[in-house]
Structure 1
Amino acid sequence: MLYPKRTKFRKYQKGRCKGCKADGTQLCFGKYGIKSCEAGRISYQAIEAARRAISRKFRRNSKIWVRVFADIPITSKPAEVRMGKGKGNTKGWIARVLKGQILFEMDCVSLSNAQQAATLAAHKLGLSIKFFKWS
């Protein structure tokens, strides 16, 4: 599971995911990348599921970089609990993703394999994404 060892606060406010990413839109490590086409939230389970799908497609002799990290806690109250009495307990972790942000980078693989892996990862993530290559 990907989540931080410690945070400044135990619970955060929800916040909004809107706008475009100013930095983090260029490939830094690999030849191929997966970029988000819309803003939203991705859970730590979705990030890990997409990473596993990509690595299973490539088997060995490949490099994968995950460029997003789930660092914001999500809280929820238990079922059948009355209103009030404070905010609920931490249920999971999310990453806020803006439009144009790179999610994954890949290297040491062929173009067709990278495109197929991006399709597999797109099914795991809850956002629309775009596959692109270094130019």
Structure 2
Amino acid sequence: MALMPKRVKHRKDQRGRIRGNATRGNTVVFGEFGLQSMQPGHVKATTIEACRIAASQYIRASGGKLYIRIFPDKPVTARPLETRMGKGKGEPDHWVAVVKPGTVLFEIAGANKEAARDCFNRVAHKLPVKVRLVERTPGT
């Protein structure tokens, strides 16, 4: 089942713009390796779930642990197909996570660099943004 918030203050959000780089959530904290975005975008809840399944299938054998660092908390609305203009804003269709450049999307603990690279390579093909592999800096 795709991720979504239990409750929200407002049912319909405005689209907004993604400006600047990520200042929070831009370092590897929980694991040894992370998948960091290099461009802004919206990542759907179904995409996050597909990435989780692909990564967990790969790291299950090595005994590693996957951490998901993003959560889809922004509703995206859509109008039904073949509907005339007007009559207000559409109903919430799906949920997205807003991703800025520098945001760490996923992390892996308990795996070597080659396994992390192979795992994140499978995940990167499913994502709508360009990503890169980052390592945890010593001392953090």
Within 2, Cα distance between the matches of 1:52 and 1:92?
Answer: 19
Identity %: 38
Runs (4+) off by over 2 Å? none
Equivalent residue runs for 1:1-135 within 5 Å: 1-60=2-61, 61-135=63-137
Within 2, Cα distance between the matches of 1:97 and 1:50?
Answer: 15
Within 1, Cα distance between the matches of 2:24 and 2:93?
Answer: 30
Q: Which amino acid is the alignment partner of residue 11 of structure 1?
A: K
Q: Structure 2: any 5+ residue segments left out of the alignment?
A: none
Q: Normalized against structure 2, the TM-score is what?
A: 0.93
Within 1, Cα distance between the matches of 2:53 and 2:18?
Answer: 26
Within 1, Cα distance between the matches of 2:69 and 2:116?
Answer: 16
Within 2, Cα distance between the matches of 1:122 and 1:17?
Answer: 21
Q: Structure 1: any 5+ residue segments left out of the alignment?
A: none
SS at 2:125 equivalent:
helix
Within 2, Cα distance between the matches of 1:18 and 1:124?
Answer: 23
Deviation (angstroms), 1:20: 0.3
SS at 1:132 equivalent:
strand
Deviations 1:81-105 (A, max 9, x none): 1111111111100011000010001
Q: Normalized against structure 1, the TM-score is what?
A: 0.96
SS at 1:53 equivalent:
helix
Deviation (angstroms), 1:18: 2.1
Coordinate RMSD, CA, aligned: 0.9
Count, aligned residues: 135
Deviations 1:52-74 (A, max 9, x none): 11111111521111000000011
2:29–2:136 Cα contact (<8 Å) kept: no
